[in-house]
């Protein structure tokens, strides 16, 4: 029944919000974390990127099903920005999955039945007021605090990007997600389709992610932080391609 994990049907949901922090890492430190069929999506021939996405989803369900059958989840994803050249010779920008978490066991069960995302369940606490917002997990040991402001937001001080326009190229999520099956030498391609995608810069006050520390990458730098809200989103049915060196 492993074929079920290859995203056998399209899925749709509504993103109430998607907050993404992107960290720049020297490309040499991420190369060994991706399969040979992928290449790192880099900037300035030096930096590769890990995105941490925190997404509040609503009405997640198989495409075409009524919303009443959907479910609401909070999702946390750790992804590397990559590129893949498909059999038609087209280069696709996308993401390679490192880790996925959710606040609901139901999502863990169905997510691990129909995808290769390897979900685990964790606790999520969100605190908000007029001026700031905190998202944290005791079990996963992460914490992020962002400022709620209408003022112009500056790039993080150590960001390698020269301006927000350049930074938006690495705002995630990108159109595709890739999974590689080494035994079958196949690449699973999942395309995401979204509407009203207008990322807005976010001012990050503080952050801590134990998972990033456990990767043992040195010099990870907060490169940008964006948020989108009120987004219709759909993941198309997975597409398999064979791949050999």
147 strand-pairing partners = 132, 203
- Domains (range + CATH), the chain: 2-242 (2.40.400.10)
Two tokens, residue 133: 């917002």
**pLDDT tens figures, 57-108:** 999 999 999 999 999 999 999 999 999 999 999 999 999 999 999 999 999 9
User: Which of the two residues, 26 and 198, has the higher pLDDT score?
Assistant: 26
Q: Does 1 have pLDDT greater than 70?
A: no
| pLDDT of the residue at 99 | 96
Q: Does 8 have pLDDT greater than 80?
A: yes
**pLDDT tens figures, 111-157:** 999 999 999 999 999 998 888 999 999 999 999 999 977 788 999 99
Task: Tell me how long the chain is.
Answer: 245
Question: From the CB of residue 123, how many other CB atoms can be counted at a distance below 10 Å?
Answer: 11
Two tokens, residue 85: 């050249």
Is the peptide bond between 8 and the residue preceding it cis, with omega within 30 degrees of 0? Answer: no
Task: Print burial letters for 10-37: b (CB count within 10 Å at least 16), e (below 16).
Answer: bbbbbbebbbbbbbbbebebbeebbeeb
Helix, strand, coil percentages in the chain from 3-state DSSP, rounded to 5? 15, 50, 35
State the DSSP string of 148-166: --SSPPPPPTT-S-SSHHH
């Amino acid at each position: 029944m492993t074929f079920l994990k290859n995203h056998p049907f399209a899925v749709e949901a509504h993103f109430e919000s998607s907050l993404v922090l992107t960290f720049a890492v020297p490309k040499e430190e991420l190369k060994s974390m991706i399969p040979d069929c992928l290449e790192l999506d880099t900037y300035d021939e030096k930096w590769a990127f890990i995105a941490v996405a925190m997404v509040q989803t609503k009405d997640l369900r198989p495409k075409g099903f009524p919303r009443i059958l959907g479910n609401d989840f909070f999702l946390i994803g750790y992804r590397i920005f990559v590129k893949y050249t498909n059999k038609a010779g087209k280069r696709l920008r996308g993401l390679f999955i490192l880790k996925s978490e959710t606040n609901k066991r139901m999502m863990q069960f169905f997510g691990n039945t129909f995808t290769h995302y390897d979900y685990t369940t964790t606790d999520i606490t969100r605190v908000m007021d007029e001026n700031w917002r905190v998202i944290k997990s005791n079990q996963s040991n992460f914490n992020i605090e962002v400022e709620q402001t209408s003022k112009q937001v500056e790039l993080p001080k150590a960001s390698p990007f020269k301006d927000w326009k350049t930074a938006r190229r690495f705002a995630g999520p990108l159109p595709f997600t890739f999974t590689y099956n080494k035994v079958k030498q196949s690449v699973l391609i999942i395309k995401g389709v979204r509407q009203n995608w207008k990322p807005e810069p976010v001012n990050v006050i503080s952050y801590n992610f134990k998972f990033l520390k456990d990767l043992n990458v040195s010099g990870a730098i907060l490169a940008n932080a964006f948020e989108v809200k009120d987004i219709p989103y759909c993941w198309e049915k997975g597409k398999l391609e064979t791949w050999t060196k």
